[in-house]
Structures are given as C-alpha cells and as structure tokens.
Amino acid sequence: MQPTLTTGAEGLEIRWADGTVGAFPYIWLRDTDPAGFHPKTGERTFDLTTVPLDVRPREARVTPEALLVTWEGQVEPSRFDLDWIKTHRPGQRRHDPADIAPVAWRAELGGAGVPRHEADGIATSDTALARWLADTKRYGLSIVTGLADTTEAGLAVARRVGHLRETNFGLTFEVVSKPDPNNLAYTSDALPLHTDLTNQELPPGYQFLHCLANEARGGGSTFCDGVAVARDLRARDPEAFEVLSTVTVPFRFHDRHTDIRSRKTVIALDTRGEVSEICFNAHLADILDLDPGIMTPFYRAYRLLMEMTRDPAYGIALRLGAGEMVVFDNRRVLHGREAFDPATGFRHLHGCYVDRGEWDSRIRVLAREQG
C-alpha cells in the first residue's frame, strides 16, 4: 500500500502502511536531497546557504517507490527512495553495525569465560575477524591464541583492525622490568587495577598485550569490567555515581621529555546516559585541585569506586602464556598485575593500542561486505 502524504507549513508527513510516521521539515529535505552528495566521495556538496531557511516546495507527491519534491525555482524534483527515507526519518538514529551493547561481567566470568580466538583465523578470514571484533567489543576483553614468538605477530593482529595509536611511550611498548623506569608498569611492582593514559585527552582505546615470556614467579594479569562496577555503583550509591560522572579531575604524566595533562570525569556517559568510559588511574591522578566543598564528597565516591574495583566479586585473573595475547578496551576494562620476582625468570609483554574509532570502522566495513 502506498504511504500517505500530508503537507504542512514547515514540513510534510508520511504515514506508512505499517503505522510508521515520519515528520520531514522542508529544510531537512532540501539539505538531504541525494543529488546534493558527491557521486564519488559520498560527501555533502549541497551548500545550505544557497537556499532560504524557510525553503518551500512547489509540489510534493509520493509514488509507490519514491517521494518527489519540486522546489520553488527548480524543474527537476528531489527524489527520495521511500525505504531510504523511512529509515532516515528525523528522530530515527542511523543503524550502526558497531553499536554492540556491552555485556557487563563480574568474577563469575572467570578466566575460562574470556572469549578466545585463534590468530590464524583472524589473519586469514574476514568472518573470523568480524566475530573476534564483535566478541571483544561485547566483553571489552578477549584472548588471541596461537601467536608466533615474534613481536611482529601481535602487531599483525592489531593491524588487521587499523593503524596503531602512537603515544609518548612510542608506537609499541615493551612491558619489562627496567632499571630506570619512567612509569610503574616498567617495574616489578604489583599494579592495582587501572586504565592507561588517563592523562591524555583521548586515552587509547583497545590495548594489545602479547605475552612473549612469563617465566617469573607471580606476574599474573588481573582485569575487571568498569561498566559492571559503574552500573553497580549507580544502583548502590547514586550520589557517588553523580559526583564521579560530573566532577572533572586533573590527570598528569610527566618525565624528562613530556608533560601531558588532561581534566576529565572518572566515569563518562554517552548521549543516552549510559556508561561509556572509565578513567581510573590513581598513579596519574594529579594533586586534586577541587574546591574544598566538593573535596570530601569526591574522595568518598572515588574511594568507594576504588574499593569496588578490588572487590573479588568483580575481578578475574589470567596467567598469560607465551603465544597468547590479551586484547581489551582500555577505556572500559581495568587491568592490573600481581607483583613478580624478576630473579625467578623473564616476563616480557609487547604492547600497542588501536583506537575505538578504527575498531568500529572495521566492524562497519566488514558488515558491509557480509551484507
């Protein structure tokens, strides 16, 4: 059945047979005319300033396939495919294959519950790559297995997603105990659960830690899901959640060559109000400069979140072996490690980052190929 069209003063309305109603302001229709996009680049070439804000059609009609709108002073009508305009109607968010809802997990997941994917499959099959990308995004964490014993093997997996995110620690980094560390990761100390580089305006997204050797006593890897912790905090103590998602605090890393600072909330929410990010790193939290009045409520909330991250109800432990690589969303999943004794053996992880933007882009491009 052909949809019905009603024209009004500022826009027109289309009512489909299934009950869907779309309200289309005329200015939106003019700006969205498919003819106003570059045939090769897909970018908008139409210039909004060439029409008045109150642009009106001379005629508008629907055929079984299309909405046709003829503008004042124009001969050829703008043609909108009816299915297309239905899915793109104002107020309707565009479908996004990368919009994968996080599955919040707690200690019950266990090391055994972490999704595991073969490096070979990721390297050779787009289907396997797409599955791994989706799984890792859903849980914020996965293990890639069967890697060759070279630093290049881990990077090759990362580059299947996109280009690496360089930071002041380089394009890639070695997690080993170093004699003159500029960072606690480069000691043999235990590292409580944290997210990396919270001092950056955009902390790196997915982190890849390829285990090349783990012979030292200790040195297990620990993880907890920041989304699970933050959601539980929201239910348990809304006031603390409010403080952590609205008060910005200073983060800083500085060494001989750099001094990188950023202010941000510990919990970030997306436009829908859902937890989208955790910035939690006590080492990089700068001297707190909050107003004295908010200082105590902030410490209360922050300390509560810190205790929750250490609660055995949330954490899982993994002991990575050579040839395994853990991959996790650094802006969601907190990571840490047990102390290790460098005298008992070598521990060597090789790391890099790929940002969330590249991750999601790869998911979308693969979804396109797979229909």
Residues 152-181 that bind a second copy (CB under 8 A): 162-166, 168, 180-181
Residue closer to a second copy, measured from CB, 199 or 214: 199
Which segments within 28-91 are labelled E, that is strand? Answer: 57-62, 66-71, 78-81
Smallest gap from residue 6 Cβ to a second copy (A): 14
312 binds a second copy (CB under 8 A): no
| Contacts made by residues 287-296, CB under 8 angstroms, sequence distance 24+ | 287/250, 288/249, 288/250, 289/250, 290/247, 290/249, 294/243, 294/247
Smallest gap from residue 124 Cβ to a second copy (A): 19
307 binds a second copy (CB under 8 A): yes
What is the rounded (10 degree) CA torsion for 92, 47, 368, 326? -80
8 binds a second copy (CB under 8 A): no
236 binds a second copy (CB under 8 A): no
Region for residue 218 given its phi and psi (left: phi exceeds 0; alpha: psi -120 to 50; beta: otherwise) = left
Q: What are the angstrom distances between the C-alpha of 77 and each of 70, 71, 80? A: 4, 7, 10
Smallest gap from residue 148 Cβ to a second copy (A): 25
Read off the tokens for 21. Answer: 């109603």
Check: CB of residue 290 under 8 Å from CB of residue 298: yes
Choose, by CB under 8 A, the member of 242, 263, 342, 345 that binds a second copy: 263
Residue 16 to residue 67: CA distance in whole angstroms: 12
Check: CB of residue 314 under 8 Å from CB of residue 227: no
> With helix as H, strand as E and coil as C, how does 242-276 read?
HHHHHCCEEEEEECCCCEEEEEECCEEECCCCCEE
Residue closer to a second copy, measured from CB, 139 or 353: 353
Q: Could you give phi then psi for residue 310, rounded to 5 degrees?
A: -95, -5
356 binds a second copy (CB under 8 A): yes
Size of interface with a second copy, in residues (CB under 8 A): 85
Smallest gap from residue 118 Cβ to a second copy (A): 24
95 binds a second copy (CB under 8 A): no
Which residues on adjacent β-strands are paired with residue 194? 335
Smallest gap from residue 174 Cβ to a second copy (A): 16
Smallest gap from residue 207 Cβ to a second copy (A): 16
Please name the residue that has the structure tokens 């009512």. Answer: 15
Choose, by CB under 8 A, the member of 35, 148, 202, 322 that binds a second copy: 202
Interface mask (CB under 8 A) for a second copy, residues 21-60, using x and -? --xxx-xx--xx-----x-xxxxxx-xxx---x-------
237 binds a second copy (CB under 8 A): no
Q: Which amino acid is at 103?
A: V
Which residues on adjacent β-strands are paired with residue 106? none
Q: Could you give phi then psi for residue 49, rounded to 5 degrees?
A: -75, -5
Choose, by CB under 8 A, the member of 192, 218, 220, 345 that binds a second copy: 192
Q: Give the 3-state secondary structure of residue 354.
A: strand
Residue closer to a second copy, measured from CB, 109 or 122: 122
Choose, by CB under 8 A, the member of 174, 232, 242, 286 that binds a second copy: 286
Smallest gap from residue 48 Cβ to a second copy (A): 5
201 binds a second copy (CB under 8 A): yes
Smallest gap from residue 113 Cβ to a second copy (A): 27
Residue 112 to residue 110: CA distance in whole angstroms: 5
365 binds a second copy (CB under 8 A): yes
Show contacts with a second copy in window 98-137 (CB under 8 A).
Answer: 98
Smallest gap from residue 132 Cβ to a second copy (A): 18
Choose, by CB under 8 A, the member of 2, 6, 124, 248 that binds a second copy: 248
CA angle 172, 175, 178 (to 5 degrees): 115
